[in-house]
Structure 1
Amino acid sequence: MKFNTITAILFSIGLVFTSCNESTTSKNETKKEEKKKEKKENNYVKENYDKKEVEIEMRDGKKLFTTIYSPKDKSQKYPIVMQRTPYSCRPYGEDKFRKQIGPSETMMKEGYIVVYQDVRGRWMSEDVYDNMRAVIPNKKEKEIDETTDTYDTIDWLVNNVENNNGKVGTWGISYPGHYATMSVVDAHPALKAASPQACIGDFWFDDFHHNGAYTLSYYKVNSLFGTPKDQPTDTAWYKFLDFGTKDQYQYFLDNTPLSKLDENYKNDYFWKQITEHPNYDEFWQKRGLIQHLKNVKPSVATMVVGGWFDAEDLYGPLETYKNIEKYNKDNYNTMVFGPWSHGDWAREKGKSLVGNVYFGDSISTFYQKNIESKFFHHFLKGDGSKESGLPEAYVFDTGKKEWKEYDVWPPKNAKKQTWYLQADQKFGTDKTSKEKISFVSDPKKPVPYSEDIKTVFTPRKYMTDDQRFAARRPDVLTFETEVLEDDVTLAGDILAKLKVATTGTDADWIVKVVDIYPADHEEHKDVQNHLKMSNYHQMVRSEIMRGKFRNDFAKPEAFVPNKETEVDVKLQDVFHTFKKGHKIQIQIQSSWFPLFDLNPQTFVPNIYKAKESDFKKQTHSVFTNSTIEFTVLEK
């Protein structure tokens, strides 16, 4: 009995050992397979595509460096998808391959001829670069702009690249998105589909400025756009600044006024352009692209893509979609907006998070497979009819956290509603007695845009950040509803019509729309350690308005001290449901640092030339006859 028991135990241990060995072997095999798969995936482009580098001559004789990836399988003809970029079409060398090509892995494996091009004056292309090069209407024979460079490139490609089917699509994110928009202006007949994504529309409202306020967080990388280069190069010729500190707030506070920063960019032509053109003058106006979208050919289908929480380019994609829609009624023109920060739809991290807010899983993959690839396939491989199977607006409700489809944007049942700033700093649909609420704005202690201490270019997460830190400052006014008894869905733009006064002669006005979560809101592990989702104040939308531009961006005007004055602040579209049990809060403040530069609160013709003595503490007031115009989805 004893013997049998010991034998059984030893046998059992032997089984465990065997099992462990088998398990270890199995794990090792799995790792080998995973590595083999990863290697194969990394080599997919090299194994399935041929690469060719060419220099395509433009109508003025300048040559633009272009990389062409063509499927090795020559049994069929393929459409061309092209991205023009100022950020390099690396890696250079016909024996060096990107790990992924095209808009997504899905499209890469579906088979397209994929083209990348260094735009004029960047990297390996000839000539001189010009930021947001202006469109030239009624061009003469040899005159060039980005529309002609795109036209000439497409013309060369369809006539010289083997196995192409004569149809071309363009895409790009951010600055490449701007060039994708350029492709639809005076478009080549072979261009059938364009997808401008997070596309810059106008540097006065995107990226480097917001309504006249300079986006100070961009200062660190100004050299990327303004360092001179006169020869083609395959290596970076610019260098980013080292602040010597991780505390960006303190660095810029110590370097106010802005003239202190000139020393870093003595030879930077873009910094010179910014500082010499403080108003929306002809220099900036002619670089805007939105006004050139009035005659987009019906033969070009457009799908504009953006992220509801894109801190860099939100104005551009929304205005691009709206203006193509407004002026080109017969065109196929659609929009896709998801719960993303800048360009997140081109990546897949599994969980979809912006800052501390979780929106779901594999949202980018859903977009790539079911929206983006479907669009390009239909117009470049399919019949190209208007019946693409996609809606006019594919939009994600960032409150309910679900996709919705509409045949028009804003939806037909979205109506304008006027909400009021009320006495006792309440907020709602009823008008109350007029009251003046004041706060002191001190340039030496500006309101930070985030609790985080870091040095970042184009901060992303602040777009959904917890705003409790701001709501509890004396120089931030808050107005909030009672606990909502029903869901309230905003679907469209927001207009704050403020009535304000200041003891100074200039002021910035920042308006934030905030979703206050209930105290019992569930927690999740991806939130920052110092925060809880209980009573979380999620920023839904925000914007700044430099007060002196309240009537005309080209002609600044001083405030009359202590005089009630109207200042409108347009906030970009949202699609967000404030759920039952939540509250809606409005925050109003006069600094947002160092996201944007400090207003001296004294009127100066050129803020970049302001002196330290111009920066003064002032008292600002907001009157409760101010209103917020929402676009509300009716049931």
Structure 2
Amino acid sequence: ASLPAAHPALKAVSPQAPVTDEFMGDDARHNGAFFLLDNFDFTNSFDVPRPQPLARYEDLFPLKIADAYQFFLNLGPLKNANQPQYFNNRARIWNEYLQHDTYDAYWQARNIRPSLTGVRPAVLVVGGWYDAEDLFGALHTYQAIEKQNPKATNRLVMGPWTHGAWSRPNWSKFGPLNFGQNTAEYYRRTLETPFFNYYLKDKGSFNPAEATMFDTGSNEWKTYPAWPPAGTQPRPYYLGGAGQLTTAPTTAPADEYLSDPAHPVPYTASIQGGRNNEYMIEDQRFAAQRPDVLTYQTEPLTKALTVAGPLGVDLWVSTSGTDADFVVKLIDVLPDSAATRTLYPYASSTSTQRLVRADVFRGRFRNSFEKPEAFQPNVPTEVKYELNDVLHTFKKGHRLLVQVQSSWFPLVDRNPQSFVNISTAEAADFKKATIRIYREPGHASVVQLPVLK
């Protein structure tokens, strides 16, 4: 927030995991879908009134959850969070988040991107590929500065980090992943410290590439003169018949599944009270086994393929209801080999499915985030959106896999699958719906990947 029309004395700024647009992709909502698990926990303490300084954070209500999936399923509709034993209408921010369920003036005023003009200080934007809170923020802060300030000194660093992990003493591993190096120390030694020494103390030099990015498939730092890199070409991957992911459209009929709000797809296989921080890299076989998750995969790659940039999703869908969510995942399927088992200790079969990127889209916003629209039941309808950037090399012998589903619970709140105000919906508003994903010419569902030449 200090960047626009900055005071001349401000020479260098490093936005790190910046909150940029909370309706589109940061903490509160993603593409209009409410991130229930994080916000329920966060606002329980953050929304406590503080008329004077406190020695420690307090909670609005005592909360001990052993199984978040079961807890939020038992909680029922969102409005039940204001029952006396929970928020009881004491949480101003919680109520505002639910009240403002479209991209109205409330959210637009909190989107800093249009204000990132007149940027004069040197900028080093830092984010983590596995930041469950503000991955969107880092990428889009950099993009907004770049677009609106073509002469600004603006650099981007993206590492294999969760929220703020670049400040940890050691970040050489995350869950089952072993990066083979202390990525946090590398960043501080070669980028952050030289950046501030040069611009604040006139010490040394600072001439890194504009974009320093960690390839999450090869475990290597890569540098580029711009982000996304100029040398990418969009490559379509079509959702085909018999679970195939192909580079040419097919004539296969639609796939379908029954989406039941009473049995939503879990976002993780782990039973935890809070968010599983490793869900962004988790093996997705637990989801692939469900009948309400569609899976499409390529043949084993004959050579390595590097994807660099945002991922385009273009689905043709229908629902027997009047609203639906769509979650699309890009997954790296690991071959079973001694080398793979060493690098990825959790690989136990040919079908290990490591999540690379995923996000949700609330279907009512397919034409406008300001003016939601109901679906016409059983009518093929286009839903287009973008998944956050990746830099990931799918190695030779691996497969690309795409999953499609309509719930991601309780990370994301349940869609009633009827066109109602979800914040005030009753239990009776939540209905099963048959979702169809179309694949024929003219209605081909496709994921566009920016492939690095």
Normalised by the size of structure 1, how large is the TM-score? Answer: 0.68
**Among candidates 294, 309, 316, match of residue 477 of structure 1:** 294
Alignment of 1:38-187 (within 5 A): 182-187=1-6
Q: Is the Cα–Cα contact under 8 Å of residues 501 and 565 in structure 1 kept in the other structure?
A: yes
Aligned residues: 443
1:369 maps to which residue?
A: 189
1:347 maps to which residue?
A: 168
Relative distance call for 1:537 and 1:242 in structure 2 (3 A) is: farther
Relative distance call for 1:367 and 1:569 in structure 2 (3 A) is: same
SS for the counterpart of 2:258 is strand
CA distance, structure 2, for counterparts of residue 526 and residue 582 of structure 1: 13
CA distance, structure 2, for counterparts of residue 313 and residue 397 of structure 1: 19
1:461 maps to which residue?
A: 278
2:378 maps to which residue?
A: 562
2:258 maps to which residue?
A: 440
2:327 maps to which residue?
A: 510
1:579 maps to which residue?
A: 395
Report the alpha carbon displacement of residue 527 of structure 1 after superposing the two structures with TM. Answer: 5.0
2:249 pairs with 1:431: yes
1:394 maps to which residue?
A: 212
2:117 maps to which residue?
A: 294
Report the alpha carbon displacement of residue 221 of structure 1 after superposing the two structures with TM. Answer: 2.1
Relative distance call for 1:464 and 1:563 in structure 2 (3 A) is: same
1:379 maps to which residue?
A: 199
Report the alpha carbon displacement of residue 394 of structure 1 after superposing the two structures with TM. Answer: 0.4
Of structures 1 and 2, the one scoring higher in RCO (CA 8 A, sep 6+) is 2
CA distance, structure 1, for counterparts of residue 142 and residue 70 of structure 2: 39
SS for the counterpart of 2:179 is strand
Q: Is the Cα–Cα contact under 8 Å of residues 197 and 203 in structure 2 kept in the other structure?
A: no
Relative distance call for 1:501 and 1:357 in structure 2 (3 A) is: same
2:141 maps to which residue?
A: 320
Q: Which sections of structure 1, spanning at least 5 residues, go unmatched?
A: 1-181
SS for the counterpart of 2:268 is coil
Q: Is the Cα–Cα contact under 8 Å of residues 519 and 534 in structure 1 kept in the other structure?
A: yes
CA distance, structure 2, for counterparts of residue 322 and residue 582 of structure 1: 31
User: One-letter code of the match for 1:186?
Assistant: A
1:416 maps to which residue?
A: 234
Q: Deviations over 1:562-619 (max 9, x none)?
A: 0000101210000000011000000000000010000000110x21100111001110
CA distance, structure 1, for counterparts of residue 151 and residue 162 of structure 2: 31
**Among candidates 223, 236, 239, match of residue 44 of structure 2:** 223
CA distance, structure 1, for counterparts of residue 152 and residue 229 of structure 2: 19
2:413 pairs with 1:594: no
Q: Deviations over 1:88-113 (max 9, x none)?
A: xxxxxxxxxxxxxxxxxxxxxxxxxx
1:200 maps to which residue?
A: 19
Report the alpha carbon displacement of residue 327 of structure 1 after superposing the two structures with TM. Answer: 1.0
**Among candidates 240, 243, 254, match of residue 74 of structure 2:** 254
2:92 pairs with 1:284: no
Q: Deviations over 1:288-313 (max 9, x none)?
A: 1111113222xx00010111111111
Relative distance call for 1:535 and 1:358 in structure 2 (3 A) is: farther
Q: Is the Cα–Cα contact under 8 Å of residues 243 and 251 in structure 1 kept in the other structure?
A: no
CA distance, structure 1, for counterparts of residue 124 and residue 60 of structure 2: 34
CA distance, structure 2, for counterparts of residue 350 and residue 280 of structure 1: 37
Q: Is the Cα–Cα contact under 8 Å of residues 491 and 575 in structure 1 kept in the other structure?
A: yes
CA distance, structure 2, for counterparts of residue 240 and residue 396 of structure 1: 40
Structure 1 vs Structure 2 CA RMSD? 1.7
2:31 maps to which residue?
A: 211
1:452 maps to which residue?
A: 270
Q: Is the Cα–Cα contact under 8 Å of residues 422 and 479 in structure 1 kept in the other structure?
A: yes
In proportion to residue count, which structure has more helix? 1
CA distance, structure 1, for counterparts of residue 386 and residue 151 of structure 2: 29
2:425 pairs with 1:610: yes
CA distance, structure 2, for counterparts of residue 289 and residue 546 of structure 1: 23
SS for the counterpart of 2:212 is strand
CA distance, structure 1, for counterparts of residue 76 and residue 5 of structure 2: 44
Report the alpha carbon displacement of residue 369 of structure 1 after superposing the two structures with TM. Answer: 0.5
Relative distance call for 1:308 and 1:525 in structure 2 (3 A) is: closer
Relative distance call for 1:487 and 1:524 in structure 2 (3 A) is: closer
Report the alpha carbon displacement of residue 236 of structure 1 after superposing the two structures with TM. Answer: 3.1
Q: Is the Cα–Cα contact under 8 Å of residues 336 and 348 in structure 2 kept in the other structure?
A: no
SS for the counterpart of 1:403 is strand
User: One-letter code of the match for 2:150?
Assistant: K
SS for the counterpart of 1:515 is strand
Report the alpha carbon displacement of residue 380 of structure 1 after superposing the two structures with TM. Answer: 1.0
Q: Is the Cα–Cα contact under 8 Å of residues 123 and 154 in structure 2 kept in the other structure?
A: yes
Q: Which sections of structure 2, spanning at least 5 residues, go unmatched?
A: none
Q: Deviations over 1:102-128 (max 9, x none)?
A: xxxxxxxxxxxxxxxxxxxxxxxxxxx
2:7 pairs with 1:191: no
Normalised by the size of structure 2, how large is the TM-score? Answer: 0.94
Report the alpha carbon displacement of residue 427 of structure 1 after superposing the two structures with TM. Answer: 0.7
Q: Is the Cα–Cα contact under 8 Å of residues 512 and 588 in structure 1 kept in the other structure?
A: yes
SS for the counterpart of 2:95 is helix
2:361 pairs with 1:545: yes
Q: Deviations over 1:26-75 (max 9, x none)?
A: xxxxxxxxxxxxxxxxxxxxxxxxxxxxxxxxxxxxxxxxxxxxxxxxxx
CA distance, structure 2, for counterparts of residue 224 and residue 209 of structure 1: 19
User: One-letter code of the match for 1:538?
Assistant: R
1:357 maps to which residue?
A: 177
User: One-letter code of the match for 2:306?
Assistant: T
Report the alpha carbon displacement of residue 350 of structure 1 after superposing the two structures with TM. Answer: 5.4
Report the alpha carbon displacement of residue 239 of structure 1 after superposing the two structures with TM. Answer: 0.9
CA distance, structure 1, for counterparts of residue 219 and residue 370 of structure 2: 40
> Which segment drifts farther, 237-246 or 362-371?
237-246
Report the alpha carbon displacement of residue 460 of structure 1 after superposing the two structures with TM. Answer: 1.7
Report the alpha carbon displacement of residue 533 of structure 1 after superposing the two structures with TM. Answer: 6.7
Report the alpha carbon displacement of residue 455 of structure 1 after superposing the two structures with TM. Answer: 1.1
